[in-house]
Every structure is written in structure tokens, then in C-alpha cells.
């Protein structure tokens, strides 16, 4: 069964099978060789399985097996996955860097090795968004794991609510950073910190909405 709506479609999209042609009558399907026994039917002697290729206008539209069917991977979906992976990587890199920066600043302040500037409101909201971002990424990771294990909607409801809460907090946080950006002053480092934190929050929100982690 192919899932079209909700975040539970992600595990299915990630389970791609690469098919390679070995010669004119043999293909490599998921590491097994299948030999053509009729125009659109292939057979594997290794496991006794059959593959039926449904071809329309010279293009394969479906591959049927004894226990399910496979569909071609849409190009636009591939672009969406690549964009999501890039956004996720950038967000995680920044969140880790921001956490390290915050820890270093806290350690220096506790040890009184150097005098630190007071944190301006924009940077405070940036720190809040970063902490919330770490929490929501962990939340989404657990969602995917539970989707693979076929969790029920009741089991996933709390994760959906958490993602909704993050979207609201991210919208408020980004808006407040934009409002107090010029008013709060602060050092250039704090302003850059706040801006990157807001950008990371926007990227995470795009991931939640784009991959439907809210339902």
C-alpha cells in the first residue's frame, strides 16, 4: 500500500529499490538476478519469484510481485527529498553549533574568565528557537521510527501536537526577532546568532509542513 498523505509516506519513499540491466534478458533487482521468460515477466531461480512489468507507451508504470506492487519514483518527489535532506542537514549543523556556542558562553561566564555582554532580546529568542528546534527534530525522528513500526494514530497524536506547538512558537519567535532586530542593539555576533536561529526555525517549519509531520 502506498501512502499519499501524512508523514507516514516518508518510510516508503526511503525504501527505494534500484533495478539494473545486466544484459538484454537479465536484470538485477534488489541484489537478485531475474531472467526474462516472456516480454514483461522476469523470473528468479534463486527465490522462485516473478516480476511482472506493466508497460504503457514504452514506460514502466508498475512492477507487480506476489506480495505487492512497486511504482516508479516521481522526479518531483526526489527533488523534494533532496531539498528536505539539505534543509535538515543545515538546520542540524546550526543547532549543534548554536548549542556549543551557548555552552561555551555559559562556561566562560561561570568561571569569570572573561566578561560577557548581556544577551539582547533577539538573541534570547534565537536561543529559545534553537532549543525548541533540537526538541522538534528529535520528535520527528521518533515519529519516523514509530511509522516504520506501524504505530497507531493515537500513539502518534502527541507528536503531531508537539509539531503544531513548534510551528506556533517558531512563527512567534521569528516575528519577534524581526521586530526587535533593530531596537535591541547588541553586538554583531548576537545579531548574526539571532538571524541564523530564525532562519533555522524557518527551515525546520518548511520540513514539518512539506513532509506533513503534523498529520
> Of how many residues is the chain composed?
215
Rounded to whole angstroms, the Cα distance separating 47 from 89 reads: 39
State the pLDDT at residue 205: 94
CA distances from 55 to 58, 63, 72, 106, 167 (A): 6, 9, 11, 63, 43
Q: Could you list the beta-strand ranges (E) of 4-159.
A: 19-23, 26-29, 32-38, 41-43, 50-56, 59-65, 68-70
State the pLDDT at residue 26: 92
129 neighbors 174 (Cβ within 8 angstroms)? yes
Residues paired with residue 65 on neighbouring β-strands, in sequence order:
68
User: Residue 50 corresponds to which cell in the numbers above?
Assistant: 516473478
State the pLDDT at residue 73: 74
Rounded to whole angstroms, the Cα distance separating 176 from 136 reads: 20
- Digitized pLDDT (tens) for each residue of the chain, 215 residues in all: 556 566 666 766 666 778 888 998 999 988 889 999 998 999 998 888 899 999 998 888 888 887 778 888 777 777 887 888 898 899 999 999 998 988 888 787 777 655 556 667 788 889 999 999 999 999 999 998 887 777 788 888 999 999 999 999 999 999 988 888 767 666 788 888 888 999 999 999 999 998 888 88
SS3 113: coil
Instruction: Select from 213, 211, 214, 167 the least CA-distant residue to 77.
Output: 211
Could you tell me the pTM of the whole model? 0.76
Return the domain boundaries, the chain. Answer: 17-70, 75-210
Task: Classify the phi-psi angles of 209: left when phi > 0, otherwise alpha if psi is within -120 to 50, otherwise beta.
Answer: alpha
Amino acid at each position: 500500500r502506498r501512502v499519499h498523505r501524512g508523514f507516514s509516506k516518508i518510510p516508503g519513499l526511503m525504501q527505494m529499490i534500484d533495478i539494473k540491466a545486466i544484459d538484454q534478458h537479465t536484470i538485477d533487482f534488489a541484489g537478485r538476478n531475474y531472467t526474462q521468460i516472456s516480454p514483461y515477466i522476469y523470473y528468479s531461480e534463486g527465490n522462485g519469484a516473478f516480476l511482472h512489468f506493466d508497460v504503457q507507451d514504452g514506460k514502466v508504470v508498475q512492477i507487480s510481485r506476489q506480495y505487492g506492487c512497486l511504482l516508479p519514483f516521481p522526479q518531483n518527489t526526489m527533488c523534494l527529498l533532496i531539498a528536505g535532506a539539505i534543509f535538515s542537514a543545515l538546520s542540524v549543523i546550526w543547532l549543534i553549533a548554536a548549542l556549543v556556542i551557548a555552552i561555551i558562553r555559559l562556561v566562560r561566564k561561570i568561571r569569570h574568565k572573561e566578561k560577557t555582554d548581556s544577551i539582547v532580546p533577539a538573541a534570547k529568542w534565537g536561543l529559545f528557537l534553537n532549543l525548541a528546534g533540537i526538541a522538534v527534530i528529535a520528535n520527528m525522528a521518533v515519529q519516523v521510527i514509530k511509522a516504520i513500526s506501524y504505530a497507531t494514530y493515537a500513539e502518534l497524536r502527541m507528536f503531531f501536537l508537539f509539531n503544531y506547538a513548534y510551528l506556533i512558537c517558531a512563527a512567534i519567535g521569528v516575528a519577534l526577532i524581526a521586530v526587535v532586530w533593530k531596537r535591541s542593539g547588541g553586538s554583531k555576533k548576537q545579531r548574526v546568532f539571532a538571524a541564523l536561529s530564525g532562519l533555522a526555525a524557518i527551515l525546520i517549519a518548511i520540513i514539518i509542513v512539506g513532509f506533513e509531520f503534523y498529520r
